[in-house]
């Protein structure tokens, strides 16, 4: 069991006049009216610091708190390795299966929580970019507001260099290729995923074959995402007819092949190299990491 969490919200003018129950049931659809009624009866919702009743009427600017009770989170790795750290920057190597940010059933079993609770100098650290839960490897954190602002600017300008290692199915990929399939966000059950689609947003990935294993019918690929679309490497390799080994979601064509959730792992993708300009010293920091599955 984790220690629970307090979700905070502020009432906007267009929601003034609604009851506390109606507001929460409409805004937070993860729970039904009945479930919100129970939470209110248990005193878990507060308005401006006071316990709220279901029929209390909200006003614009009211501050809301929902005190979620402790819950059991799914199993996940609870360790990470530090690749680089100073007063401004932290780079860690994330294991596969560990979610970066709190979402869904994960809160304390996330990389953000583990990093911030691991040292007093990391309590404000925040990731500058993302890795999928099933992806392992290097991820960059800014430890100060100034560092986060500068590193975020670099990522918006596509200045940092990232290289991933992927184990792709088959041995038919060309020695080098550039994947340009547009990527579109589409519904996937109660969630959304990103797939290859002509009407999607522009996406570009450089690919280079490092080794072909004809006996196991797979290929080790170095992938450099130039743009930063969600699941870009997984989608592009699948669109080229070489899905990542163990990928439960993306199949040939870069489309969903099952009803697997986007966060499900089991695939072989690792953020193996990361280069960026240090926000304070203005020197290039170049880091490498080898995936456990390479051994």
On the CB side of 14, CA atoms within 13 Å amount to 1
CA distance 277 to 267: 30
Q: Give 232's DSSP letter.
A: H
Quick check: 148 pLDDT over 90? yes
State pLDDT tens for residues 200-257.
999 999 999 999 999 999 999 999 999 989 999 999 999 999 999 999 999 989 999 9
Q: State the SS3 of 29-40.
A: CCCCHHHHHHHH
Confidence (pLDDT) at 165: 98
Sequence-distant (6+) residues with CB within 8 A of 55 are 19, 20, 21
Q: Rounded to two decimals, what is the model's pTM?
A: 0.87
Single out the residue of 171, 170, 166 nearest to residue 207, CA to CA. Answer: 166
- Are 249 and 193 contacting, i.e. CB atoms less than 8 angstroms apart? yes
Rounded Cα–Cα distance for residues 84 and 89 (Å): 8
- How much is the average pLDDT of 253-266? 90
pLDDT for the residue numbered 189: 85
- Average pLDDT of the segment spanning 103-120: 94
Confidence of residue 263 (pLDDT cuts 50, 70, 90): confident
In DSSP notation, 50-62 reads EEPPTTPBP-TT-
User: What are the structure tokens assigned to 81, written together?
Assistant: 């390795």
Is the pLDDT assigned to residue 27 strictly greater than 90?
A: no
Share of the chain above pLDDT 70, in %: 100
Whether pLDDT at 295 is above 80: no
For all residues of the chain together, what is the average pLDDT? 95
- State the pLDDT at residue 110: 97
Q: Give the model's pLDDT for residue 214.
A: 97
pLDDT score of 195:
95
pLDDT in tens, 66-106: 999 899 999 999 999 999 999 999 999 999 999 999 988 89
Alpha carbon of 154 to those of 126, 128, 147, 278, 279: distances in Å?
15, 10, 11, 10, 9
- The candidate with the shortest Cα–Cα distance to 151, out of 278, 24, 286, is 278
Q: Is 267 a residue whose pLDDT tops 80?
A: yes
Closest by CA to 108, choosing from 123, 119, 98, 96, is 98
Give tens-digit pLDDT for 153-207.
999 999 999 999 999 999 999 999 999 999 999 999 888 999 999 999 999 999 9
Structural domains present in the chain: 5-68 (3.10.290.10), 73-157 (3.30.2350.10), 161-264 (3.30.2350.10)
CA dihedral (212, 213, 215, 216) in degrees, to 10, reads -120
User: What does the pLDDT read at residue 30?
Assistant: 74
- Structural contact between residues 164 and 269, judged by C-beta atoms closer than 8 angstroms: yes
């Amino acid at each position: 069991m984790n220690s629970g969490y307090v979700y905070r919200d502020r009432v906007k003018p267009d929601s003034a006049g609604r009851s506390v129950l109606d507001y929460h049931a409409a805004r937070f659809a993860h729970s039904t009216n009945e479930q919100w009624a129970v939470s209110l009866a248990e005193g878990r919702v507060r308005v401006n610091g006071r316990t709220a009743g279901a029929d209390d009427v909200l006003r614009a600017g009211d501050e809301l708190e929902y005190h979620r009770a402790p819950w059991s989170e799914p199993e996940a790795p609870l360790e990470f390795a530090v690749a680089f750290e100073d007063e401004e920057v932290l780079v860690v190597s994330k294991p596969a299966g560990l979610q970066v940010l709190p979402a869904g059933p994960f809160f304390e079993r996330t990389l953000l929580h583990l990093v911030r609770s691991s040292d007093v100098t990391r309590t404000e650290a925040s990731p500058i970019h993302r890795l999928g839960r099933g992806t392992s490897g290097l991820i960059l954190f800014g430890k100060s507001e100034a560092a986060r602002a500068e590193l975020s600017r670099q990522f918006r300008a596509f200045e940092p260099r990232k290289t991933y290692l992927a184990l792709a199915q088959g041995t038919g990929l060309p020695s080098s290729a550039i994947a340009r399939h547009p990527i579109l966000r589409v519904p996937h059950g109660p969630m959304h995923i990103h797939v290859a689609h002509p009407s999607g947003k522009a996406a570009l990935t450089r690919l280079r074959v490092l080794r072909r294993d004809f006996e196991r019918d797979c290929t080790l690929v170095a992938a450099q995402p130039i743009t930063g679309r969600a699941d870009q490497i997984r989608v592009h390799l699948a669109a080229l007819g070489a899905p990542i080994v163990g990928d439960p979601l993306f199949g040939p064509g870069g489309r969903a092949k099952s009803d697997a959730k986007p966060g499900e792992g089991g695939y072989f993708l690792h953020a193996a190299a990361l280069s960026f300009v240090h926000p304070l010293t203005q020197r290039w920091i170049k880091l490498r990491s080898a995936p456990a599955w390479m051994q």
